[in-house]
Amino acid sequence: MWDGIVIGGGLSGLIAGIRASEKGKRMLVISEGVGSLTYSSGVMDFGDVERLKEEKNHPYALMGETVVRAGMEYFQRLFPDYQGAWQNSQQVLTPLGSPREADLVPTGLNAGVLQKAKEIVLIAPEGMKDFFPEVIKAKLERVYSKAKIEIYPVAVEAFDIWRNSGKLITGMDYAKYWRSDQGAVNLKNILGKLTEEMACSSSGATSGEKQGEKSAIIFPGLAACFSNVLKGVLEEVPLPIVEMTAFPPSASGQFLYEALKQKFKALGGELLVGTGVKKVEFQGKRCHTVIVKSKGKDVTFSAQSFILATGGIFGGGIQVGPKDANESVMGLPLYVPAQWTNSEFLGEQPYAKMGVEVDPELRPLAAGNQEPLFDNVRIVGRLLAHWDPWLDHCGGGVSLASGWLAGEIL
């Protein structure tokens, strides 16, 4: 028998599994897919915690500020390369070159240095899918109006056949290439040549002004935070290098997902990916068994505790029909707004707050009842009710806080 089974292998589920494993619990994560992390930017948004914790039933209000801060600090302990401090946001670049606020940012994605730059060079890997250098340049020129913006095309010989045949190269393709032995050498050569050219162009700098204080490089598709090889290459460059967030699928999100899995497995956790839960069995107020279909046959797993991290509507944790919605694994009751949608295109959409209502220990509740339905089941992440990740800008915060709390309680 397992100490705990996590159903769902996204950010909140893996954080819960890692924290419980650290405490010596024998943990199993069952995941039907790879979760939404691979489609995320890898950046963690917490939103306006002070305001959101005052909203009735919001996950922050239930868990409290102490837990939310603990989730942030725990994630930074797992990944020290993430910059950020409580209520001190950072800046990152969107895929189209606009800066935006974020709370926890991989070191390479921190774009704050661009505010003082007088010269910004945008690396443009040729043939890169969903990358629009001219659009980005125009946006950078508007935002950083005092800086000279230049595009620096880069053609990688390894992708010649792809480009010649008209095949687009994804950001993930480039990220994997830079991590190869050949790619790391090529990256070092590209950056070395570029910095020499920039040094020559800045030879007229005023006395006492260093090149690194007025010049910066933007390099998309690296995700260097998760590669010691790439970090070593970048450390040799005398100029700050800023990465960009990407359209999904994102290299930063994918590598974060892989890093979380590695940490979980290193602690003795077991991960079953590509398998959904077929049936759940209960005894009184306790869940005791899940049955999954694996390799064409039913397999039974029992545990002392269960954590449900299956996501919301888009993650498959909530199944929506023409007139109703259902929690997909345990059949738990859902909070469903009386009106699901808003005709205003960019307005608040009530369906976003659909989810399972919980007590402060994340145990599921029935509508209008403050007694938990099950004593050993906890809900984390997007499946929680009464919050909107798009309007509240707190998707990372809710996932980290609830995942940490569930793992801590277990």
Amino acid code (one letter) for 155: A
**What residue spans of 6-159 are helical by DSSP H?**
11-22, 49-52, 59-63, 65-78, 133-143
Tokens linked to 146? 């005092």
Q: How far apart are CA 249 and CA 385, in angstroms?
A: 26
Where are the domains positioned within the chain?
90-247
End-to-end CA distance of the chain: 15
In the block, tokens 């401090």 appear at 85
Along the 410 residues of the chain, how does pLDDT read in single tens digits?
A: 999 999 999 999 999 999 999 999 999 999 988 777 888 889 999 999 999 999 999 999 999 999 999 999 999 999 999 999 998 999 999 999 999 999 999 989 999 999 999 999 999 999 999 999 999 999 999 999 999 999 999 999 999 999 889 888 999 999 999 999 999 999 999 999 999 999 887 655 544 455 556 899 999 989 999 999 999 999 999 999 999 999 988 999 999 999 999 999 999 999 999 888 999 999 999 999 999 987 778 999 999 999 999 999 888 899 988 778 899 999 999 998 877 676 666 566 778 899 999 999 999 998 777 899 999 999 999 999 999 998 999 999 999 999 999 999 99
- Residue 345 has a pLDDT of 60
Contacts 24+ apart (CB under 8 A), 276-284: 276/30, 276/32, 277/7, 277/30, 277/32, 277/329, 280/329, 280/330, 282/374
Tokens linked to 258? 């892989």
Single pTM value for the model: 0.93
Question: What residues contact 278, with CB distance under 8 A and at least 6 apart?
Answer: 291, 292, 293, 298
- Residue 346 has a pLDDT of 57
Q: How far apart are CA 59 and CA 52, in angstroms?
A: 9
Q: How far apart are CA 178 and CA 172, in angstroms?
A: 10
